[in-house]
Structure 1
Amino acid sequence: MTVKTRFAPSPTGFLHVGGARTALYSWLYARHFKGEFVLRIEDTDLERSTQEAIDAIIEGMKWLGLNWEEGPYYQTQRFDRYNSLIDQLLDEDKAYKCYCSRERLDGLREQQMAAGEKPRYDGHCRHSSAQHVSDAPCVIRFKNPTEGKVVFDDHVRGRIETSNDQLDDLIIRRTDGAPTYNFCVVVDDWDMEISHVVRGEDHINNTPRQINIYQALGAPVPEFAHVSMILGDDGAKLSKRHGAVSVMQYRDDGYLPQALLNYLVRLGWSHGDQEIFSLDEMIELFSLDGIGKSASAFNTDKLLWLNQHYLKTSPAEEVASYLVWHMQDQQIELSKGPALAEVVTLYAERCHTLKEMAEQSRYLFEDFSEFEENAAKKHLRPVAAEVLARVRDKLAALTDWQASFIHEQINATASELELGMGKVGMPLRVAVTGAGQSPGIDGVIALLSKEQVLARIDMALAFIEQRANS
C-alpha cells in the first residue's frame, strides 16, 4: 500500500502553529514511507474563506519547505462530484430530504437541553416527507445507522468506540445546494486515495460520522491519528495573546524555518531524549505511534535557543539566504556592505534571531552620523584621543586588510601605550560601530573598507575634541 497523507486547512485565517505541526506530521509520515503528500484547501465555508488566507497558507507551507506532490485541490471546484454522490445516496435510501424549519430545530434543541439531553436531530423527516412538495426548500441528511457501533484504532488515542445511537443524521447538503464539510472530507479522502489522516483532536467527534459515510459509499476507511492541542506557557489554549501564532509571523520575527520545524516536531512527538533533529533525521525516525496523548506547551525561550543553534551550526550561505528578507524589510541597502554570509559568521554567536542580526549589523552597510549617547559618554573621552589617533595611524599603514593583521595593530597600540585591551578596544568599537556592543572589533573592522574605518575614527576624534572644548 502506498502511504498517502494530506494537509487540508480551511482558508479562514493564516497558517497557525497547530496547523503547521499537523502538516509537518503528515508530511514526515509520507516521506518516511516514500509516499505522497497532498495539499487540499477546504473552502466550503464561502462566507469566511478568503483568497488572502489561501495565499498565506501556501506561503507558509513553502517557507517551511513542506512541498506537496498533489494539489492544491479546492473543494469549491468539486461540488459536482459531491452532489452526484449525495444524489446516489438518496437513490439508495442512505440519505433523505429534511424539511424541518429553523424554528422547529431551535425548539427541539431547547427542549433537549432543558431535559439535560445531548442536542441532536430526532429523525422527524427520516421515514416520510410525503407531506411536502418535491421542490420545497430542504436539506439532505445522511441516514446514520441506528444500531451497532463505530470502532477504530487511532494511532495516538488507541481504540475508540462510539455507539451509533449516539450519532444523529447529520446534514450533508444545505438548502442552498452546498455540500457540507463532513461529507466533502470523506469524498476527497476517497478520491485522493488518502491512506492516513493526521488531524487535531477536535475532529475526533467527526470521525465516527465520517466512517459511516465511507462505509455507505463503499469507500475504504483510512487510518487516523488525532493529535492533541498546543497550549501556551500558562496552560491555556495557544492564542494571539501568547505572541505569534501565524507561521509567517515567526518568519517576520527572525526565526529560521528549520528551527521552527525542529521545535514543532517535538511538540508531541519524541525519540528518546533527543532534542535536535535534522530534517533527514525527522524523516527517518518519525512515526505516528510515537506521538503522545498529552497536550504540549509552547515555550518561546526553547524556540529561541533552537533558533540560535541553527544560526550557529547551519552553513552561513544558507542562513544568509534567509537574512536577505530581514535586511530588505529594514531597508538596509545590501550593495553597500559585505557579503551576508560573512555577517552571519560574525554575528551567529551573538544573535538569537535574524531580525536581531539585521538590526545589529546595520552599521556594516550604512554610515551613521551620531554615536550611541551612553557609549560615547563612557568611552569617547579626551583620554581616548591618543589611543584612537595611534590605532588610526597603524590601520592606515596596513596593506593587508584582514582580521588577524588588524588584531595585531590593536594589540600593538595597547602595548605601546601600556594599556589594557579594553582601553583600546572599547573606544575603537564605539568609533567604528557607533555603539558599545559588537562582535570582536577586529572582525568588524575587516568587513568594512579601510576608508570607512578611518573616516569613522576621524569622526570620533572630532567628537572628542568638541567634547573637550565644550
Structure 2
Amino acid sequence: MTVAPSDTPVVTRIAPSPTGDMHIGTARTALFNWLYARGRGGKFLLRIEDTDRARSTPEATQGILEGMAWLGLDYDGEAVSQFERAARHVEVAEEMLASGAAYKCFATQEEIESFREAARAEGKSTLYRSPWRHADPATHPDAPYVVRVKAPREGVTVIRDEVQGDVTIRNDQLDDMIVLRSDGTPTYMLAVVVDDHDMGVTHVIRGDDHLNNAARQMTIYEAMGWPLPVYAHIPLIFGPDGKKMSKRHGATGVKEYQAMGYPSAGMRNYLARLGWSHGDDEFFTDAQAQEWFDLSGVNKSPARFDTKKLENICGQHIAVMDDAAILGEIEGYLAAAGEPDLTSSQMTRLGAALYALKGAAKTYPQLIEKARFALADRPVDLDEKAHKQVSSVSNGILEELTPHLQNGSWEREALEAAVGKVMEAHDVGFGKVAAPLRAALAGRAVTPSVLDMMLVLGRDESLARIADFQGVCAAAE
C-alpha cells in the first residue's frame, strides 16, 4: 500500500465532534497536531465532524471554536463541516461500487441479528459475512440496501504507527464495514477517510482509541488507490487514579479550565508534556515546543493528569508573561467564569500592580486576590484579621509615620527610610509597623509588600487610606 512521499509538505488536522464540551484530551490532540505542523512549516486544519445530526449542536461547534481560540491553536483556512461534504462521500462510495471494491448488501437487521445469535450459541465468531458480497447484480431485489466495502479476507494488515510501532491485524478479523447506510447517508468511517484525503492530510495524529479504526479505514484507501497518511495514535489521558479522564476527576472540558483561570500558555506547556517529553525540560515556550516536538518523543503509555503540576507550570508562565497579555487573558477569564468585568480604572490599577504580583500567582483568581488592595475603592473594608489591628497602638504608629510619608519622596528607598525611622523610634521590628499599614492599605492581614502597595497606590491614595484607618482606630477607643 502506498504512503505519501516523505518530502510532501506536512498537513495535520484536528477533527472534533460538536456533541458536547471540547474535552481536554481533544485539546491535547489538537496541540500535538498544531506543534507538529507548525514546527515543520506545514498546515494545521480544523474539521468539525458533525455528521451525527441528532447530537451535533451549533453551541458545541461554537465551543470548539472558542476553545481553540483560547488555547491559541490557530488553524489554516476555514473550519470544514463534514456534514456539508456528504455528497462527496456518497460519490466515493459510488466509485467503489463501480470498481467492484464495494457491494450492495440487502441483509436486514433481523437477519444479521439472527446470524449473530446463532454464532454466539455455537461459540463461533459473530463477525458478519454478508452473502451479498459476490452476488450477481441481476439477483438484487428491489429492497433497501447498505453499501459495504470489501475488506481483505486473507493475510494481515499492518498499521505502521509512529507511536505504537507496527501493529498487525489479521484480515479475517476485519468486517466488510458499511460506508453508505440504507437511507443513502455516508458513515463516519467513510467520511473521515474521504475528508482526510481531499484535505491533503499527510499525518493523522489522534487518540489510540482510534487505532483499530485505522485497519478498517485503510481498506478505503486501498480501494481508491490513495496514498496512506502517516499514522500516530497517541495514548489517552488518565486521571490520578489511572483510569480514563472523566468528570469524577474534576474538570474535563477546555472551557472549564479557562473559567478556572489558567493561562493559555501554561495550559499549552502542560498539555505538551502530558505524554511527550524533550529530555528533562518541563518549562518551555511555544517556539521551543514547535522546534522540539516530534512523534518519537510521544510515550506509548497513558499520561496522568496532575493538577499540581499544571498549576506549577502556569505559575511560571504568569511570572514571565507580558503585562498586556495577562490583562487580556484576565478579561477572558472573567467572562468565562461569569464574573463581573473590571472597570477601566481597576484594569489600570491592576496593570500597575502586576510587577509586584505575577511572580506569586499560579492562576488568575489567585492573581486577582493578591491585587485586591489595588482594585478596592475607599473606604477599604477590613477583614476579620485586619480588624485586630484596630487599636490605639496602630493609630500611634501610623500617626508618627504619616509626616515622614508626606514630606519624603515617593520612592522605595525613601519609603523604607520612613518606616525605618518609626521602627527605631518605637524600638520595634518591621512587622509591627507593617501590620497596621497592611490593614490600612488593603484591609487585610496577608498582602503583597507594603512598600509595593504604597508605590502602586501612590502618595495621595496611600495617605488617604491611612487616614481612613486612623479614623476607625480613633472611633474604637
TM range (shorter): over 0.9
Q: How many residues align?
A: 465
Partner amino acid, structure 2, of 1:100: A
Q: Return the alpha-carbon distance in structure 1 between the equivalents of residues 393 and 464 of structure 2.
A: 20
Paired residues of 2:128 and 2:175 also in contact (CA < 8 A): yes
The answer to whether structure 1 residue 211 and structure 2 residue 214 are counterparts is no
Displacement of 1:125 after TM fit? 2.8
1:82–1:380 CA distance, 2 compared to 1 (3 A):
same
Paired residue for 2:418, among 409, 413, 419? 409
Displacement of 1:327 after TM fit? 5.6
Partner amino acid, structure 2, of 1:358: I
Deviation string for 1:352-371 (max 9, x for gaps)?
11121123313312325531
Paired residues of 1:156 and 1:225 also in contact (CA < 8 A): yes
Paired residues of 1:25 and 1:198 also in contact (CA < 8 A): yes
Deviation string for 1:165-189 (max 9, x for gaps)?
1111111111222211111111111
Deviation string for 1:319-343 (max 9, x for gaps)?
2332233466343323246454432
Q: Return the alpha-carbon distance in structure 1 between the equivalents of residues 32 and 124 of structure 2.
A: 37
1:118–1:331 CA distance, 2 compared to 1 (3 A):
farther
Q: Return the alpha-carbon distance in structure 2 between the equivalents of residues 361 and 428 of structure 1.
A: 16
The answer to whether structure 1 residue 173 and structure 2 residue 180 are counterparts is yes
- Residue 376 of structure 1 corresponds to which residue in structure 2? 387
Paired residues of 2:373 and 2:453 also in contact (CA < 8 A): no
The answer to whether structure 1 residue 432 and structure 2 residue 407 are counterparts is no
- Residue 388 of structure 1 corresponds to which residue in structure 2? 398
Displacement of 1:96 after TM fit? 1.9
Paired residues of 1:327 and 1:358 also in contact (CA < 8 A): no
Task: Select between 414-423 and 124-133 the one with higher mean Cα deviation.
Answer: 124-133
- Residue 257 of structure 2 corresponds to which residue in structure 1? 250
1:241–1:191 CA distance, 2 compared to 1 (3 A):
same
1:263–1:117 CA distance, 2 compared to 1 (3 A):
farther
Displacement of 1:70 after TM fit? 3.0
Partner amino acid, structure 1, of 2:82: Q
Q: Equivalences for 1:70-85 in 2 at 5 Å?
A: 70-85=77-92
Partner amino acid, structure 2, of 1:77: E
Task: Select between 59-68 and 450-459 the one with higher mean Cα deviation.
Answer: 450-459
The answer to whether structure 1 residue 397 and structure 2 residue 407 are counterparts is yes
- Residue 153 of structure 1 corresponds to which residue in structure 2? 160
Displacement of 1:160 after TM fit? 1.2
Displacement of 1:452 after TM fit? 2.7
TM-score (norm 2): 0.92
Q: Secondary structure at the match of 2:195?
A: helix
- Residue 199 of structure 1 corresponds to which residue in structure 2? 206
Q: Return the alpha-carbon distance in structure 2 between the equivalents of residues 96 and 127 of structure 1.
A: 8
Paired residue for 1:358, among 368, 371, 384? 368
Paired residues of 1:332 and 1:362 also in contact (CA < 8 A): no
Paired residues of 2:349 and 2:374 also in contact (CA < 8 A): no
Q: Return the alpha-carbon distance in structure 2 between the equivalents of residues 262 and 45 of structure 1.
A: 33
Q: Secondary structure at the match of 2:79?
A: strand
Partner amino acid, structure 1, of 2:329: Y
- Residue 465 of structure 1 corresponds to which residue in structure 2? 474
Q: Return the alpha-carbon distance in structure 1 between the equivalents of residues 452 and 272 of structure 2.
A: 36
Displacement of 1:206 after TM fit? 0.5
TM-score (norm 1): 0.93
- Residue 74 of structure 2 corresponds to which residue in structure 1? 67
Paired residues of 1:86 and 1:95 also in contact (CA < 8 A): yes
- Residue 3 of structure 2 corresponds to which residue in structure 1? none
Q: Equivalences for 1:132-151 in 2 at 5 Å?
A: 133-134=141-142, 136-151=143-158
- Residue 19 of structure 1 corresponds to which residue in structure 2? 26
Displacement of 1:163 after TM fit? 1.8
Q: Secondary structure at the match of 2:20?
A: coil
1:132–1:426 CA distance, 2 compared to 1 (3 A):
same
Paired residues of 1:327 and 1:333 also in contact (CA < 8 A): no
The answer to whether structure 1 residue 442 and structure 2 residue 446 are counterparts is no
Give 5+ residue unaligned stretches, structure 2: 1-7
